[in-house]
Amino acid sequence: MKRILNLLSLLVVAALATAQNPFVTHKFTADPSARVFNGRLYVYSSHDRDDAKYFDMEDWACFSTTDMVNWTDHGKIFSLDDISWADKWAWAPDCIERNGKYYFYYPVERKKIGVAVADKPEGPFKDALGKPLVDGIAEPFAGAEPIDPTILIDDDGQAYMYFGCREARVVKLKKNMIKRDGKLQELKIYDKEGNRLLWREPKEGEPNIQASNGGDGVYGEGPWILKKDGKYLLIYANGWAKDATMVYASADNPMGPFTYEGKVMQSVSSGTSHGSIVEYKGQWYVFYHTKDNSDSNFKRSICVDKLEWDENGKIIPVSPTREGVSKIN
């Protein structure tokens, strides 16, 4: 009997030891943007404060790996202290490489987007402009909350920045990656029948489900863009309802219009859903955050799971796991 009990406790310990999502547990992290630079996979993230009562983040984090199992923490790669024109709310970033320089796009103050530059993927980054690249106060067309920038450099070399909360926007960038090239454009998403999908606030008494906000395909926030098999795929969070999650839409043109395709993954524990998908060493992954390691939507942790495509090239919605693929960092 004693031997059986010992065996059972060993099995429990083994099960706990393999629970590897979230894979960063020594600090709170959110909004993971995964990029492959020089054969190494980097994840750029927001950094939720240990005593957070709001999304009052002050700096950004970066982690990297070559095997998806062991991760290096690159520490604080950029912070509000490095920005002369913003004081609060260091939110969801993205980073892209061009001509050997690394451009880090970051939203602050829920209204502005800046860009910083570095010689290495892990920084140190330096603010490139000394002012915002997008200023939602000076430019109402930037939308109510111009946040969550993400970048695509297309095969012809044209760069695009996508951003926005509830109201999605896209703008071309010049080759220097720190100046806009042309006007901000509305990013339009339709369903398969050609109906425009637009965010709407739930009516009085409506349940807190995605249907109240206009359905699964509506754009909430957290865009992520990639090109696959000649199509532009826009991944995004469809809002904050209890069944909200990450979904995606496709287009033939980087400026849209996009057509809603379906879910990227099932809902997670955090009120926000924000992530990215990436192919690394022949396997696709979805990065996302949850609040599985805390009791607060303001203390989130990044996770990763494998992602697969079906025979028609559609994403098979991922069920988030506690096992993940990575060792706890």
Residue numbers annotated as active site: 31, 221
Nearer to ligand FUB, 74 or 110 (CB): 110
To ligand FUB, the closest distance from the beta carbon of 281 in angstroms equals 27
Angle at 25 between CA 272 and CA 302, to 5 degrees: 30
In whole angstroms, the minimum distance from the beta carbon of 164 to ligand FUB comes to 10
Q: Which of 268, 227, 272, 230 is nearest to 248 (CA)?
A: 227
- In the list 41, 43, 86, 92, the residue contacting ligand FUB (rule: CB under 6 A) is 92
Judged by beta carbon, residue 74 or residue 166, the one nearer ligand FUB is 166
CB 105 within 8 A of CB 114: yes
Contacts (Cβ under 8 Å, ≥6 apart) of 23 = 71, 302, 303, 304, 324, 326, 327, 328, 329
Size of the site for ligand FUB (CB under 6 A): 12
Question: Cα dist. 132→33, 180, 269, 285 in Å?
Answer: 21, 11, 33, 32
3-state secondary structure of 43: strand
Own/partner pairs, 200-209, CB within 8 angstroms, 24+ separation:
208/241, 208/242, 209/241, 209/242, 209/243
Half-sphere CA count of 207, side-chain side, radius 13 A: 7
- Selection from 177, 172, 173, 187 nearest residue 141 by Cα: 187
Comparing CB distances to ligand FUB, the nearer of 55 and 232 is 55
Q: What is the pattern of x (binds ligand FUB, CB under 6 A) and - over residues 158-197?
A: ----------------------------------------
* Binding test (CB under 6 A) with ligand FUB, winner from 222, 256, 275, 320: 222
Q: Which of 274, 275, 299, 307 binds ligand FUB (CB under 6 A)?
A: 274
* 23, 42, 78, 91: residue in contact with ligand FUB (rule CB under 6 A): 91
Which is closer to ligand FUB, CB of 148 or CB of 261? 148
Which of 33, 245, 272, 301: binder of ligand FUB (CB under 6 A)?
A: 272
**Is 81 strand, coil or helix?**
helix
Q: Which is closer to ligand FUB, CB of 147 or CB of 151?
A: 147
Phi, psi of 324, deg, nearest 5:
60, -150
- Please report whether residue 329 would count as binding ligand FUB according to CB under 6 A: no
Asked if residue 286 binds ligand FUB (CB under 6 A), the reply is: no
**143 lies in the site for ligand FUB, by CB under 6 A:** no
Q: How far apart are CA 266 and CA 317, in angstroms?
A: 7
Report 9-48 residues binding ligand FUB (CB under 6 A).
30-31, 46
Asked if 236 is part of the footprint of ligand FUB (rule: CB under 6 A), the reply reads: no
Tell me which residue has tokens 């033939």.
252
Q: Given the rule CB under 6 A, which residues bind ligand FUB?
A: 30-31, 46, 55, 91-92, 147-148, 221-222, 272, 274
